[in-house]
Chain A
Amino acid sequence: MTPNNKGRAGNGNGGGNGPGSRPAADHCVRVCKAAGCVSAGSEEVFAALSDALKQSGQSVNCEVKGAGCMGLCAAGPLVSVEPEGTWYREVTAEDAPAILNSLGGEIVERLHLPTNTPFFERQERIVLENMGRIDPERLQEYLDADGYAGLNKALTEMGPAEVIDEITQSGLRGRGGGGYSTGLKWGTVAKAVGERKYVVCNADEGDPGAFMDRCILESDPHRVLEGMAIAGYATGASQGYVYIRAEYPLAISRLRSAIRQAEREGYLGNRVCGTPFSFTVEVRLGAGAFVCGEETALIHSIEGQRGTPRSRPPYPAQQGLWGCPTLVNNVETLANIPSIVRKGSAWFASIGTEHSKGTKVFALAGRVNNTGLIEVPMGISLREIIFDIGGGIPGDHTCKGVQTGGPSGGCIPADCLDQPVDYESLAGLGSIMGSGGMIVVDDTSCMVDVAKYFMEFCMSESCGKCVSCRAGTSQLFDLLDKITKGEASEADLALLEELCDLVKHTSLCGLGQSAPNPVLSTLRYFRDEYLSHIVDKECPAGVCSIHRDVEAAV
């Protein structure tokens, strides 16, 4: 079977109007159907627009379509009108007739969302290039946007070693947090001896506040499948698994329908793109354990065992799923692959900094005006992200810092905001790139409380296999709780630091090894806040309720 590529656009990912801007109708109204906007009521908006369209009899020159995440989740539900490129914010079902009536005429001013703002203009989109521009449930729209061209190119024009070389040359590093060279990992799996090999897509996104992987899978599932198929071809695997948490029902259903469509059209299954290469993908649901994002725990979970990590080495590249060499890559890493193969490693390596190439998707959240999903080139400063793209801090408050990397990351103080965002620089600041959670903290937040929040998360997500993480995180949480209640002494602070060192260096897996990071980084930059809780019995931000004898007397 030869894939049906007819009608594919030569270059459909250019300017603001995107590949989907050549509909049969004069206008195309797209409604964001990612989880953020769906929870804000975009399904109702979609239904109202479709109904209004039927009633108005305009059906000849307009069509209403769904779209993946459009990015500015804070202003959802979002609606865009093509080919004009007009965006509308916070649309409700009642607004449907107004939007339809405006087509070809004046825009609806009260709903208008200008797209010439830094939020849109400062972003550089590779992974998210199709988001908001194609319907994630229609393969044809992905094909029109050069979809599966990378796979086709890899299979027909390149050998597996060439693909690996291309990925290595591009400088792509793991986007799940570790930052390990993707090309090197692929090369290791390709070299490993084994009758069967596997490609696993890690979609067990568990950081609080992070939703990059969910949005990618909800908005552009074929891109991840294409990345997996290329990885399978390069490493010699013919079976892939997507390990995704069951809390993402929308992403799961879109992924499943994407797999069915791709199999039907010959992009997955036997004889992919008419070549001898075969690759099938299965979805495995996780029960929502944070530790299952750790690759060895994830592998145990896919095998049907209890999701606990094991000591490495041997690494999964040598002995993974059912003892076979296994490539485990994060969703965003795989989503970069089609573009790299299609446009070449030199193009990708031209973006970013010396050691961190390409772009990074962040889920911008916390005390910032424009919360949402953003993709920025590596090397951009934190200040640009927060104040240009994020639109600054709401109200009269000042930025105190930014938390990156979720419970495994750290807090970066406001005076370090000019540092570039890349793997080395964030690590130097005591944080990590992580999978892409970015939480902005202002002066209304207490840093001890922030550290306590993440420690509580790690404590409840520890699997309990090794004592350092199991007992260590709960002791750390108790100590932080004591500090926030104003009951701690300076001896407790010393114990806190000693325990952090122990848990960091003696835990079995990454969860425990990185669990103390939020505490260590807040101790490094906001030690005075800890001391005010301990010595002055005061919470500078007024968050922690410290019960004093005086208050009790009143």
Chain B
Amino acid sequence: MPDPVVITENLTRRFGDFVAVDHVSFTVEAGEIVGYLGPNGSGKTTTIRMLLGLYEPSEGKATVFGFDAFRQSEEVRARAGYMSQKFALYDDLTVWENLTFYGGIYGIRDKQRIEETLALVGLAGHGSELAGALSAGWRQRLALAIALVHRPKLLFLDEPTSGVDPSARRSFWDLIYALAAEGVTVFVTTHYMDEAEYCGRVGMMRDGKLLALDTPAALKMRVVPGDVWEVHAEPLQIALNACETCTGVLQVGLAGDHLRMITERGMKEKDLRLRLMSAGLTVATLERGEPTLEDVFLSLAKG
């Protein structure tokens, strides 16, 4: 087994009294896609910046490809690509010109490399279009091309698909999977549960702490305390209050036009129906639901 690509040990960063990243330890293996899920301000971007050597850890350390992320940041950056959440494209330059400009920063002057990178992200033949005229999904691809032009073996994606629709997001992720299959390690931050489902392993961040890190399926199995149910009942607010007092119901929340609840594991449908009825609820429909990463996050946040 080759050495892990990223190792952090008690990685910590303080800004004055504020602890942005709090004793975080994890490893990422080559070819893995690891997601970092948490709200704004939970320490996701600060972690990436330490891994890229942009911030010095206040405590602990980060190793990337065996190099100290801060002291040997030049070595790290030569091997890592970074697509930031607010990537800057020159709207009045063409796709080709944008990529050539950023490639130049890495000393890449090779026309063929530019062509190959455009082809890799599915922009071949679009080199002469103005960046400003591209759709949100295509802008994302160009930003990815810029992060990939120096052929990094590690790719940091900071909220890569915010603002694109599911079909563009899915195309984007197909590109990421193709890169990972070639051995590129990918580290993604997101605050959306949908996006985290695309990752092989997901870390849950809150208030600078890494609460858990595992595959989506394992997190759902391990962290969500019971079975998920979708309940349609009217009126919603009164039903919600009734459910909160019902025995065997561990969590209940509003989900648009219905309620979503977690009950003790192994609860039978007819037992649950009886319990809800005796709590004063008129149940229209009751169905088993699928646990989500949001359930995981809510359970972790409670604990």
Do A and B truly interact? no
Could you tell me which B residues sit within 8 Å of A by CB distance?
none
Could you tell me which A residues sit within 8 Å of B by CB distance?
none
